[in-house]
Amino acid sequence: MHAAATSAAVRAPESDVETAIARLSERFGPRLSTGAAIREQHASVVTWIAAEPPDAVAFPRDTEEVAEIVRICAEHRAPIIPFGAGSSLEGHVNAPFGGVSISTAQMTEIVAVHAEDLDAVVQPGVTRKALNAHLRDAGLFFPIDPGADASIGGMAATRASGTNAVRYGTMKDAVLGLTVVTASGEVMRTGGRAKKSSAGYDLTRLFVGSEGTLGVIAEVTLRLHGSPEAVAGGVCPFPNVRAACDAAILTIQTGLPIARIELLDAAMVAATNAYSRLALPVAPTLFVEFHGTDASVHEQSERFGEIAADLGGGPLDWTTKAEDRTRLWTARHDATWAAAALRSGAKPVPTDVCVPISRLADCVEETIEDIARSGLVAPIVGHVGDGNFHVLPLVKPEDAGERAACAAFISRLVERALRMGGTSTGEHGIGQGKMAYLEAEHGAAAVEAMRALKRALDPFNIMNPGKIVIP
């Protein structure tokens, strides 16, 4: 699973990281750190992918400082690794060839909120929770919700999505424009504040999901939404996982504008009960939420209840109370930790795939059978309205056999998703962890086009090298 195995690239011989760091240190003083602890905190820490710390971490405060750092690194061909909240899951923030991490921890300004246009301009280190706290009084919200309190810059870079994507889309839809520092240290604007444009190539969408390999995101213009007048939600158990998936499928197919529809398999419900002190029936369960007017959330809830009942599910235990909903969704977001608590000494290896919605039940069912055959402990939780689900195998890091079994399982999971017309990752990204599947998913010509784009925008391969594609 480690990128080094698939990597044909090495740091360019002319790369002189030491001189770059010396110059950065002179310029930025204590805002350029080479301490071991700091460096280790800026390697991939949340998954089993081996941590590869950078040689130094820089803490710029604004776009111009990011540009300065990039220009110095570029001059000495030092690799640059943009770093947000560190919550990415596929080794995106590792430094396999060393170099300088650019942390956005000091770029946390909400530059502007244009309530009348439903947009905001933020520095990349602003987290989604900080942004929503800031927006609340204005009656606005930013819907993209990957669970972790990720940074907006990181979310843009990885094309994040999460529980609300079924209604509000992903970062591809939420980002109106970007300020990007190019690989040569120039400051570039992509997109703007108009809601739509057909003026030239869509650079915004090219940088959204580029994982720091084409440039550094230094500012983000985001689309916001008005807070819904009424919110209702609830939990709904099902006799089996197929029935739960079929309910999600029918909900989407009938055009119900559901805001959230999340599957927890029985293993995940048990883990969540234990970790979050809930008392849900241990059965495959959908967590649902409806946004709208009072009348429309009632109508939606009723319709969803009918769909569930037709499939033997229910009853839908629903509520419009904010505190009950918060408790439920906190439990949902703690799924990774709940899963981890199932097996002491084990580490969760979160992975995700996404399939066309009609294949969701097949894919989840086959995956559960595969988990059983593999002898893995691996709860499932997912954004099933999008056909997207996560598996959380719990693996003892020191056990090579378990690691191999897990890697083989993930390979089979990806192959299954691709066979069903899906993708190797719905929202986690490629990073180091899924590079091996890129060609199987997209074909040689598309991967070659990606390489050509990478060479065009980062000719010296200094931008987050060793991620997505080897140019």
Residues 212-231 interacting with a copy of itself (rule: CB under 8 A): 214, 225-226, 228-229
- CB nearer to a copy of itself: pick between 57 and 152: 152
- CB nearer to a copy of itself: pick between 29 and 200: 200
Here's the x/- map for a copy of itself, 22-61, by CB under 8 A: it reads as ----------------------------------------
386 is a contact residue toward a copy of itself (CB under 8 A): yes
CB 194 within 8 A of CB 238: no
Distances (CA, A) of 460 to 95, 115, 218, 469: 16, 41, 20, 14
Amino acid at residue number 471: P
The token duo for 70 is 């990039």
Residues within window 308-367 making contact with a copy of itself, judged by CB under 8 A: 354-358
Beta strand 56-58 with 80-83: parallel, antiparallel or unpaired? unpaired
255 is a contact residue toward a copy of itself (CB under 8 A): yes
Answer for which of 4, 64, 192, 373 binds a copy of itself (CB under 8 A) is 192
- Least Å distance, CB 53 to a copy of itself, is 25
Here's the x/- map for a copy of itself, 409-428, by CB under 8 A: it reads as --------x---xxxxxxxx
The token duo for 216 is 């550094």
- Least Å distance, CB 67 to a copy of itself, is 11
6 is a contact residue toward a copy of itself (CB under 8 A): no
Q: What 3-state DSSP class applies to 77?
A: coil
Check residue 62 and report its DSSP letter: S
- Residue recorded with tokens 């649902």: 288
φ, ψ (nearest 5 deg) of residue 234: 175, -175
The rounded distance, in Å, linking the Cα atoms of 442 and 431 is 16
206 is a contact residue toward a copy of itself (CB under 8 A): yes
Here's the x/- map for a copy of itself, 148-187, by CB under 8 A: it reads as ----------xxxx---x---xx-xx--------x---xx
198 is a contact residue toward a copy of itself (CB under 8 A): yes
User: What count of other Cβ atoms lies within 10 Å of the Cβ of residue 342?
Assistant: 19
Residues within window 77-136 making contact with a copy of itself, judged by CB under 8 A: 114, 116-119
The token duo for 427 is 């929202």
The rounded distance, in Å, linking the Cα atoms of 84 and 336 is 20
- Least Å distance, CB 125 to a copy of itself, is 21
